[in-house]
Amino acid sequence: MTKVRGGRSSGRWFRSGVLRVAFAAAFIPIVLAGQTASTAESKVDAIFAQWTSSTPGCVVGVATNGTPVLAKGYGMADLEHDVPLSPDSILEPGSVTKQFTAAAVMVLARDGKLSLDDQVRQYIPELPDYHEPLTIRHMLSHTSGLRDWGNVAAIAGWARTTRVHTHAHVLDIVSRQRALNFTPGTHWSYSNTGFNLAAMIVQRVGGVPFPEFTRTRLFEPLGMTHTSWRDDYTRIVKGRALAYSERDGAFHTDMPFENVYGNGGLLTTAGDLLKWNEHYDAPAPSDAAMVAEQQQAGHFNDGRAHGYGLGLFVGSYQGLREVYHSGSTAGYQAFLTRFPDQRVSVAVLCNSSGAPATQYAHAVADVYLGGRVKIAPPAARPSDAEIAAAAGLYRSTLTGVAVLVGGGKDTLRGRRWTFDGHGGALAADESAVVSSSMTAEHYERVPPAHYTDAQLARFAGVYASDEAETVLTAAIHHHALVLTRRPDTTVTLTPTYADAFTADHGLGTVIFRRDAAARATELDVVQDRVWNMRFHRLPR
């Protein structure tokens, strides 16, 4: 999107004309792909059958051709007070929120107040100068290389939901990061940081608080009267469903208590999300170009395409074009999807951390898409010899993370495999390329590491990071290398390949770095959203 200067703005992105079809509470029976509305509803009931009056559950909404055809709640909104979930229940959709933040930035771009290709430090001077072009567009497409502030906080022992984080915390953490995960525009790595900073940019450039800006420019024009932000987690929200996680066979409340938003933090209903989806299919004429741009898959610096637009995933499901986003915050799970060619939208909001919202939404979509879904034939099972040929330990040459192929959850197909949603191909030289819709990553086969206590002792020492503001102490405990962190955390390290370990407690991968004398002088903590958090060994 180019920067436009000087033109007049209507003051609102969306015009009333976008609401060409009223979203009413009463639905009329219609025929959907050869079935009646009641038949479709019965099929949806079966999908959510496990959620009852003694459990939390989910709310589902469906619209076809711009008209809502289903809105229903399953399970309870509040287990303590026996309040059931209903179509009007307010829940959090987690990262489904990101498309709203991106849209708010795009409104300012259309107003001529900024450009998506502006440098971020122009508006967030607290951000360190990485001597690389880092733009707003990079942030909105997860190609910025910015470390995820929540992961950095977790490395320091303060994972999200363990303290009340604010945007001041976000800025403080970001200001201390002396490195990016990668040069902006060269790779894809999911980062909440970019969307928190985007919300701050909207507030600084728009001149009003971000919640007010989005209310007047996005939500009210679309009639999204049940949508707001968790900018104050103590605020009373009428109709809000509590979130839960199951532990030891019982449900416990699991609520987000942080005043951080833009990456998530939206409070909304399934019906409001369907109204939002409708504006993509039937935008006002003045919004058409902006709406189209947000849904276009982005590109890396070298021209390669990836599967993310601006706050939206752009891909396919069972052979059909799909625009979607998932989300999770504390005990909330959500998925909002749209099949633009079939004009089918599905919103699923759940208040249990164990609810597979994405799976539910696709199962519901199958009901309303009918015979248009193309089910791929099952892949042939590889022979034992093929499995043995490809099985082994592989190290990413990009991040250093190790992957065990043939070890369980991955599935080998000849000399190809899939794991964690990625596909890989093994070459004759025992190197590999693992690819997805986002990136292609090279792996090389490495031998597994085994250590004696004397060998592990070489890694012992105290390691500190100013970026994470924490200290990790490596020591031997019961013939294993462990890291201790104040006040009372002990992380066990399991050897993978030479100098690399898998850490429990969610720390990720720990890679020790040696000097010319082979003495461990540094360690890196590597996670999916923090690739190279460096800790320096302190002198004794």
For residue 457, give both structure tokens.
């002792």
- Sorted by sequence, the CB contacts under 8 Å of residue 189 that are 6+ apart come out as 142, 143, 145, 181, 182, 528, 529, 531
CATH architecture entry for 16-21+58-94+209-372: 3-Layer(aba) Sandwich (3.40)
User: What do you get for the CA distance between the two ends of the chain, in Å?
Assistant: 54
Quote the tokens at residue 86: 């209903």
Contacts of 245 (CB under 8 A, 6+ apart): 251, 252, 254, 330, 331, 352, 353, 354
Domain with CATH 3.40.710.10 in the chain: 16-21+58-94+209-372
CB 522 within 8 A of CB 512: yes
Q: What is the pLDDT of residue 34?
A: 58
Residue 76 phi/psi, 5-degree rounding, is -115, 145
- Given 3.40.1180.10, 2.102.10.10, 3.30.70.580, 2.40.128.50, which CATH number is that of 453-537? 2.40.128.50
Taking the chain (540 residues) in runs of 10, the rounded mean pLDDT of each run is 34 40 37 73 97 98 97 98 98 98 98 98 97 97 97 93 92 97 96 98 98 98 97 96 96 96 98 96 87 95 94 95 97 98 97 98 96 63 65 88 68 46 55 65 89 96 97 97 96 97 95 93 96 94
Contact 471, 491 (CB under 8 A): no
Task: Give the model's pLDDT for residue 258.
Answer: 94
Is residue 56 within 8 Å of 352, Cβ to Cβ? yes
- Tokens 């900018």 locate to 231
Q: How do strand 58-64 and strand 35-36 relate by DSSP bridges?
A: unpaired
CA distance 77 to 328: 17
Q: Which residue has the tokens 């085994």?
A: 450
Closest CA to 359 of 26, 4, 32, 48: 48
SS3 522: strand
The conformational region for residue 288 under phi > 0 = left, psi -120 to 50 = alpha, else beta, is: alpha
Between CA 299 and CA 316 the distance in angstroms is 17
Contacts (Cβ under 8 Å, ≥6 apart) of 374: 318, 319, 320
Pair 329, 92: CB distance under 8 Å: yes
Around Cβ 122, how many Cβ atoms within 10 Å? 14
- The answer to whether 272 and 224 are in contact (CB under 8 A) is yes
pTM beyond 0.85: the answer is yes
Give the pLDDT confidence score for residue 33 in this predicted structure. Answer: 53
Q: What is the DSSP string of 246-277?
A: EETTEEEE-----B--SSS-EEB-HHHHHHHH
Query: From residue 435, how far is each of 105, 188, 527 by CA, in Å?
Result: 31, 12, 18
Question: Which pLDDT score is estimated for 287?
Answer: 86
CA 485 vs CA 148, 165, 488: distances in Å: 20, 20, 6
Phi/psi for 244 (5° steps) reads: -140, 155
Q: Could you count the other beta carbons within 10 Å of the beta carbon of residue 292?
A: 12
Q: What sign does the dihedral 70-75-78-82 (CA atoms) show?
A: positive
Which amino acid makes up residue 404? L
pLDDT at 418: 52
How, if at all, do strands 431-435 and 422-426 pair?
A: antiparallel
**Is residue 160 within 8 Å of residue 150, measured between CB atoms?**
yes
Integer Cα distance of 424 and 441 in angstroms: 9
CATH 2.40.128.50 residue window(s) in the chain: 453-537
The structure tokens 């619209």 sit at 63
- Compute the radius of gyration of the chain from its Cα atoms: 24
DSSP labels, 212-236: HHHIIIIIGGGT-TT-EE-SSTTS-
DSSP structure class, residue 498: T
10 Å Cβ neighbour count for 209?
Answer: 14
Distance CA 431, CA 55 (A): 48
Other C-beta atoms closer than 10 Å to the C-beta of 178 total 10
444 - beta bridge partners? 395, 431
pLDDT score recorded for residue 284: 83
